[in-house]
Structure 1
């Protein structure tokens, strides 16, 4: 079932051509990311860049070979992917979870960029009862075929919110009585020594840079996993799983 959906999704959830992408953005299509040929120029491209910045659309420059792999049609130097899911409003989701009477568990991904890591994290989040995943509109991993496949379809079960700024989301969570815990090695506090048996949002950083320093300044607590080997870090999806299952353990 998931495999058949992926095959259809790769073909149907794309917009190619600069003018078509502009019209898609302006009409409110759920554009997840735009891939732009590195050397493409002209007035129409300038208009696309302007519209993308106005709507905070995630984009990246790629060689023409990447676009040719995405579509065999005349892409004119730009291909957009459309998210296969509908994103949730953060304020509405927080209110809904609080009204449900359960102890909230949210997950914030700060600039996570790899679609497969994203999918793996979504799969673990679904298994551990995460109420919602929060990502930033710009710079985050797309929800594409790789994400859906790696998540084993869990992407359709876990609410995902896209926000303009991670820090604003953290402030809103804190204002709603939800503690924010950053997973970082820049602390002496062990994950097993803090309380997760309360409303909490766990923050994971990007694969290469970790959590933004400006984000670390505003979180309620920082925690790390004990490391005993010669390698100094874990894959972010593995580390996320350890944090989420420690939360589950404490709440049992």
Structure 2
């Protein structure tokens, strides 16, 4: 279900956070004082919600309403609880199939990835709360509506997601050009979670270390890497190919 995209006002944002609204980011006026402002800041830190401190002029551009020095962007889709999502899939599916995104920040790449994930039968997408592309109207449009179909969960630390998935018998396969193994030589037919990294820096070292397997896509040309959404499509469809065979 599509939601309103913005909440403004200190008390309104506090109530939205406490009600479990999928808040992408909060813009707070620099130098904002008062008990209510302190309560909101404390709540945003507790919930690990992305926050930017900006001049009042920017807030005025973002909203013509009486924002009281605070504006929150709301996701157009609802996020799933990570553990609940995994437990449901593990109970219902013989070969769970997840996708983890480590630092993918471009909303259109994210949308394209969601679309491909839906086409490949991915059971759920996991992203960290900080440093990920938000689910905006552009994301939904680029996903061709798949953002409403594929469960998406946010988690504080992606490593926690990896350890939880591993404890449920799911192999973690990291996409990295630094691997000596080609994707097409790797067995990814069983329960697995594919990890894709940031557009520029790839997967962070700690996530790579935690993965069960690492694989690269063989490249025949002069350019050293693929766009992340294209690379993700190659990895996901290799899982599909192996399962069909």
TM-score normalised to structure 2 length: 0.89
1:48 alignment partner in structure 2: 40
Partner residue of 1:171 out of 163, 166, 174 = 163
1:216 alignment partner in structure 2: 208
TM-score normalised to structure 1 length: 0.87
* CA offset digits 1:88-113 (Å, max 9, x no partner): 22222222222224421100011222
Moved more, 137-146 or 92-101: 92-101
Partner residue of 1:234 out of 218, 226, 244 = 226
2:117 alignment partner in structure 1: 125
Partner residue of 2:26 out of 18, 25, 34 = 34
1:46, distance to aligned residue in structure 2 (A): 4.3
2:107 alignment partner in structure 1: 115
Q: Distance in 2 between matches of 1:184 and 1:53?
A: 32
1:40, distance to aligned residue in structure 2 (A): 4.5
1:64, distance to aligned residue in structure 2 (A): 5.9
Q: Distance in 1 between matches of 2:56 and 2:193?
A: 40
1:198 alignment partner in structure 2: 190
Q: Distance in 2 between matches of 1:36 and 1:228?
A: 48
RMSD of the TM alignment (CA)? Answer: 2.2
1:186, distance to aligned residue in structure 2 (A): 1.7
Q: Does the 8 Å CA contact 2:32/2:69 hold for their aligned counterparts?
A: no
Counterpart secondary structure, 2:26:
strand
Partner residue of 1:144 out of 117, 120, 136 = 136
* CA offset digits 1:184-232 (Å, max 9, x no partner): 1121111111011100000011222211111111110111111222322
1:147, distance to aligned residue in structure 2 (A): 1.2
Structure 2 spans left out of the alignment, 5+ residues:
none
1:65, distance to aligned residue in structure 2 (A): 6.4
Q: Distance in 2 between matches of 1:233 and 1:63?
A: 39
Counterpart secondary structure, 1:217:
helix
Structure-2 change in CA distance of 1:40 and 1:118 (3 Å): farther
1:233, distance to aligned residue in structure 2 (A): 1.7
Structure-2 change in CA distance of 1:101 and 1:48 (3 Å): closer
Q: Distance in 2 between matches of 1:208 and 1:48?
A: 34
